[in-house]
Each structure stands twice: as structure tokens, then as C-alpha cells.
Structure 1
Amino acid sequence: MTPDSTATVVGLTKKTEYLVRQLILPVEEQHGGNAHDLPDDVRRALQTAARTAGVFAPQVGAAFGGLGLNMHDRAPIFEASGYSLFGPVAQNCAAPDEGNMHLMERLASPDQQRRYLRPLAAGRIRSCFAMTEPVPGEGFDPSVLNTTAERTSGGWVINGRKWFVTGADGSAFAIVVARTSGEPDSRSGATMFLVDADSPGLRIRPDRETHRATVFARESELIFENLEVSDDMVLGEVDRGFDYAQTRLWNTRLTNCMRWLGSARRAADIAVTRAASQSSAGRRLGDLGMVQQLIADNEIDIAASRGLVERACLLLDAGEPSAQATSIAKTFVAEAVGRVVDRSLQICSAPGYSEDAPLSWLYREVRLFRIDDGPLETQRWAIARRALRMADERAS
């Protein structure tokens, strides 16, 4: 990183911090930290403010109206944005849109970018990513797909079901992962399709209520019944969907870590403020050794998390193998963020857990982070397998 680029990132981070604290936090408080029923004109107003501040869409290339920052440079800005649950919405870097933009910049044809990526990057529309399936599908694993896309003379016909699709209700389009060859359990033969939300043969049932309140609408079920799409709606190459899903996953794991570190920083700040201003049994709370240990452990978890995220980002930006680094970062950060919020709740006691308190909102959200792209046990299994494979390679 050059001195000029460092100064640019520092400046953008400070602008984001100012925007979040002066404008976005009051809006979050007004709506109880819940974006499910947030009016779209509020979303647009927040995005206009971010655009005016010069911090809109930091992850999107300049050709599509963004700042074009690489993974390493966007990390402190995403963390500053995540200090508020509404920050990523304002900067148009929230899930699932952020991951879809990343994917479409790399894979979409010029016409697809014109029709879908440009309005998405500008915040004029929203999108969703449809991969997770109910039983007998296999949750977050795109290698076990029961949704199928069969080739026809005019293109493809999609049949199947997806569920827990984040933000589908009100989205303009979905990126749908469907099997185009092979059998379930085969780690090939998946293809990604762009599907307009108003396509005949698609039903959206927004009936999955979860605790993820920072996204618009709710978790929805998507039902495909002989839905027809043309060949020009294939995203990337046919049968390469599993590879693309992994690429998207490595990116979004880290951007999730960045945003949730903002939540951890906010929780730790709330706890320190409480400890410095409150007293117990005639002593300032912050003078108690037990409280100081909780505060110190929060700072250690945040610092260690940043280091793991930075290392994984550098590998991704350099085009080096990064699956192990991103898995390690996601696994550690997901649990570290939870620990920070939990410790902060202990310091703040009952007032911190009341329904209208920010710590309660943060606790509600960060618990879901631990299962956001699959159980952490599954990720630990993958980490161990890679470590054993590398040991075998060294031995040979």
C-alpha cells in the first residue's frame, strides 16, 4: 500500500465514522434497529447521504459508480460502517447485495451488467442470492442441489425450492443456483441464473421470520415451477456454479467479518462507557478487576480478529490460495464477536439487555453470524482437512 492510498483509506474511514455517528445511529434508534419494515424512502435517503459524503459503495468498481477499493482497503471502512446496524445499508455494502455485486462484476456479461449490476450498484434496486434448500437439499452446501435447470430449445426450465433467502421480498432479481448436470452430492454441474422477481413460475413466500433484522423484508421461500429463462440469463459459464459460489463465499466471509467487527467495537465502547460512569458498592465499575478483565479480553478479541481478516484480505488481493485463511478468519471472528457482545452485556447488566437498548439488538444479530454460511463445526472440519492435506504434501 502506498502512502497516498493509506491516506485515502484513512480519510474514507473517518468520513464513514462521522456519517454513522451523526446521521445513521439516530435513524437506527428511531426504528429500533430493525430494517424489516423500514420504508424504502428511508433507505434511499440514507444512501443519498452516504453518496454525498463520498463513501457510497466502497466495494464497487469506479466504472459502476463505486470507490473500487480492494479487500484490504475496504476492511476498516466496512468496520466503521458496521458500527451501526444500518450503516452497510446506507453505504450499499450490505448482504446479500454486496456479494452479488462482487460476483456480477467478475462474471456478468456487458448486457447483464447494464440490466442488473448498474442499478444494483446505484442502490435503485435490491437483489437476493438463492442457494439454500430445504431437506433433502443440504443447507448451505451448493454441491447438494435438488433444484434443477433443464435445457430446452429456448433456454432453460427451473424447478425446485429455496428457503431462508435473505431479503427476497421486494428484490428485483435473484441469483439462483440450480443443478444442470450430474447428481446430488456431485461437486460439479451447478449453474447460476439471473431470475427476475416477476418471472412467471416464481412464487416468493416471505414467511420465514428470523432474528436477522438488519436486512429488508424477511427470510423468504422461493418456489420455482417450470420457470423459463433464456440462455442470456446464465451468469458465467454453465456447470461452473459451484466454483463461483466458493468465490463468492470467500469474499463474503471476510466482508461479514468486517461489518460484524463494527458491531463488536460498538458493544465494547458501550461497555467501557458504562464501566467509566457507573458505580457498584461505592466503587467505580471500571475499577473492579473483574470488569477490567472483561474489557481487556474484548480489546484482545477485536485486535486478533482484525489481524486474521487483514491476512486473508492480503491473500485474496494477491490472488493467492485463501480458502484456509478465510475459513480461519470467519470461524474465529464469528465467535470473538459473540464473546465481545456477551461480555459487554455482563458489564452493563440488565439495562443492556432491555428490548430498546443497542446491546440487545447487537446480541440478536451477532448470534446469527455464527451460522451465516454454515455451522462453525463444518468450517472447522474443512480447516482440519486442509491442514492434514498440506501435511501429507510436505511428507511426500
Structure 2
Amino acid sequence: MTDFTRANFLAARVERFVRDEIAPYEHDPRLGRHGPSDDMVREMRDRARQADLMTPHILADGSHLNQRETAIVLRASGLSPLGPIALNTMAPDEGNMYLLGKVGSPEHKARFLQPLVSGEARSAFFMTEPAEDGGAGSDPSMMKTICRRDGDNWVIEGRKAFITGAEGARVGIVMAKSEDGACMFLVDLPNPAIRIERVLDTIDNTMPGGHSIVRIENLIVPGDQMLGASGQGFQYAQVRLSPARLSHCMRWLGSVTRCHEIATAYACRREAFGKLLVDHEGVGFMLAENVIDLKAAELMIDWCAGVLDGGSLGVAESSMAKVAVSEALMRTADRCVQIMGGTGVSGDTIVERVFREIRAFRIYDGPTEVHKWSLAKKVKREFLHDQQS
């Protein structure tokens, strides 16, 4: 069986599972303002285990599908916004598993990675900080959270913001700044030194635990729970960064594909002014534009995945993909809402929910404008280099 045959076969199983077993949960009352309840997550994951589809992108021997294969599987998982949660392909866990798999020690993998891969535990990545504190956001060099040595331990102090899944997580990756630079630490959660001040009400509501403001006070972490060496945190963040950006694109491509299916069915059944909506040029053209944007997003993901599979960190390429895909999916989701009119802004289908989630995606993992600014700097550097050659 070739790699892509394997991935396509797996994706077909995932798609059937998501459509048949998970999509019905989309109207479950346990899906609240800050995501599905822990009970609902456990129930969906039990179904995934019974279908032998838990964490499908990580194989039984511990190896990981390559990025192009992962794209096929994660897109299928995203056909419902709840699919990635049920299948354990959701952020931040998916990115945290990737990071631990790449840079964690054998002891780290046994203690922190294995519970994540099995779907028994959730995780949180503590990097972003509150704007009112002047802390790190799109510019991680502004990090205010500090860590200092105390014998064989490290002591961490600071505040974090927009920490996805902090409420209910069992594994944390905390970024802090030492005299050497940025550091990453693995911590067991909950921990009395990590206190959730509040869970924010945000435009999106799919991720378990929501997004929290967190205060860290006198957090004591053993030295052997540092990921790598002191001062190397930003390098490790780069290992996680590009694949995590791209996996967001993969999952949301699946969700917006389903929105397009729903909008197409609506337009092909609903009549107005003597004919089906799809036969009105204004609606038909919007559906055509959806098809174009969805295909462009798919190809952009595949291209960037190929770059990562070639061994590159793909920093610039993942920025390009994140901008192109998030903007294309936003346009597509918006057109789906417009095509469906009043039904599109109601909760009767997932179209309204996905529209909100995609709006947040244009900010999460770096706003569009920050990625464009970074790419513009790269254009300038390359021009100056060429002039000097």
C-alpha cells in the first residue's frame, strides 16, 4: 500500500466516522460558551476508540504521517468542528504532541506525551500574554513571564492570556524568559501555582476549556522538566510553529467544505422569484467562487506540506499558506452565510458557527497582517542581497 493510498483509506474512514457519529453532537446541549464539556469530550473520544480512530495521524508504532498525508486525514476530521476534538487532532494538543515527539526526552514522552496520544489527557501551551501587561503576543520577544534557577529547580512568575484549553488540561507547556533567553517547561496540571483568572468569552466556542487569562505565581518546576536547554525556547517554538499553522488550515478546510455542501444543497432546493436560488447568477457565481477558493486552499496546503516534508522549517511558506488559506476560507464561509440568508445566521446549521470560528482563525497563530509584514521583510532582505551580489 503506497503512502497516499494509506492516507486516503484512513481519511475515508475518518470522514464516515465524523459524518455519521460526530456531526449529530453539533446540537448537543453540552456544547457551551467555552466549548464542549469534559463529559461530552470523553463520550466522543470513546466512540473514536471503538472505531479505532483515536489520534489517527500518529500510527501504532509511534511514527507520524508525513505532512501531505496528515493534510488528507485532518481535512476529513474537520468536516465537523467537533471532529478534531473527538479524534484528538485538535489544537493545541496536535501541535503539542508534534513538539514533544520531536524534542522531548524519552522520559518526557512517557510521562507527558503518551497521555496526550491516547486521548486521555488534554494540554495547553502557555505563550501569549495580556496586552495590558505589555507582554508577548504576535511579537514573542516581548515576553514578560520570567524564570530563574533555584538549586535543581526553576521558579516561574508571570501572566498568560488566550491560553486555549487551560481549564481542564492535564499537561502544560509553559514559556518563560531566563537570563539566557526563552525557555520551555513541561508541567502537570492542575497546579495551584497556575491560577485561571477568567475564561474569556470569545467569538469561537468549539475548543474544550475555552481561552483563559492565567496567573503564574511561584511555580516550581524540576530542572529535568525543561524542554531542551535554557535559552532555546524560541528555536523549539519554530519546530512546532509551521506544522501547527498548517494543521489549522487542514482542519478548517474540512469545516468550510461542509459549509459549502450545506449552502449548495440550500441553493439547489430553495426557490425565489420563480426559480431555484442556484439559477440566479448572483448565487451561482458565489458557489463558483467557493469552489475556486476551496481548491486554492487545498493546493496551498499541499504545497506547504511538501515543503515541510522536504525537511525545511517552512517559516515563510507556512506564513503564506496561513494567510492564503484563512482568507480564502473566510470568504467562502461568508458567502455560505449570504447564500442561506436568515438560515445562514441562525444556529440551525453549522454554517453560522464555522463562520465565527474562521473569523477567529484569521487572528489565531498570527494575524494576517503580521504574516504579511514578515513576508515583506523577507522580500526586502532578498532584494538587498541580490543588489549586493
Contact 1:33-1:86 at 8 Å conserved across structures: no
Structure 1 residue 42, shift from structure 2 partner:
2.7
Structure 2 partner of 1:104: 100
Aligned to 2:171: 173
- Is the contact made by 1:35 and 1:215 (CA closer than 8 Å) also made in structure 2? no
**Runs of 5+ unmatched residues, structure 2:** none
Segments of 4+ in structure 1 off by > 6 A? Answer: none
2:93 and 2:33 mapped to 1: Cα distance? 15
SS state of the match for residue 36, structure 2?
coil
| 1-structure distance, mates of 2:164, 2:77 | 20
Q: Distance in 2 between matches of 1:30 and 1:321?
A: 40
Q: Which residue of 2 aligns with 1:240?
A: 232
Residues in 1 aligned to 2:315 and 2:10: alpha-carbon distance in whole angstroms: 29
SS of aligned partner of 1:338: helix
Measure the CA separation in 1 of the matches of 2:55 and 2:33.
Answer: 19
Q: 1:185 maps to what in 2?
A: none
Question: C-alpha displacement at 1:271, in angstroms?
Answer: 1.0
1:74-131: CA deviation from partner (whole Å, max 9, x where unpaired)? 1021111111010001110101111110010111111111111001110111110000
CA distance in 1, matches of 2:192, 2:23: 40
Q: Distance in 2 between matches of 1:61 and 1:24?
A: 22
Deviation, 1:225, is 1.3
Match of 2:41 in 1: 43
RMSD: 1.7
**Could you tell me which residue of structure 2 aligns to residue 320 of structure 1?**
312
The residue type equivalent to 1:44 in the other structure is: R
- Deviation larger for 195-204 or 226-235: 195-204
CA distance 1:31–1:84, change in 2 (3 Å): farther
Question: Which segment drifts farther, 258-267 or 382-391?
Answer: 382-391
Cα offset, 1:13, TM superposition: 1.2
Q: Distance in 2 between matches of 1:33 and 1:258?
A: 23
- Map Cα deviations across residues 261-310 of structure 1 (whole Å, 9 max, x no partner): 01110111111101110111111111111111100100110111111111
Identity between Structure 1 and Structure 2 (%):
39
- Kindly tell me the number of residue pairs found equivalent between the two proteins: 386
What CA deviation, in whole Å up to 9, does each residue of 1:10-68 have, x standing for no partner? 1111111111111100012224865835343332232232233333213335344xx72
Contact kept in structure 2, 1:35 and 1:217, CA below 8 Å: no
1:145-167 per-position Cα deviation (integer Å, ceiling 9, x unaligned): 11000011131110111011001
- Is the counterpart of residue 311 in structure 1 residue 292 in structure 2? no
Letter in 2 for 1:101: M
SS at match of 2:142: coil
**In 2: Cα distance, 1:68 partner to 1:375 partner:** 28
Unaligned runs of 5+ in 1: 183-188
Contact 1:33–1:361 (CA<8 Å) still a contact in 2?
no
Whole-Å separation in 2 of the counterparts to 1:385 and 1:62: 42
Distance in 2, Cα, partners of 1:339 & 1:200: 43
Shift of 1:141: 2.7
**In the alignment, which of 90, 93, 111 is matched to residue 94 of structure 1?**
90
Task: Name 2:291's counterpart in structure 1.
Answer: 299
Tell me the secondary structure at the aligned position of residue 236 of structure 1.
coil
TM-score calculated relative to the size of structure 1: 0.93
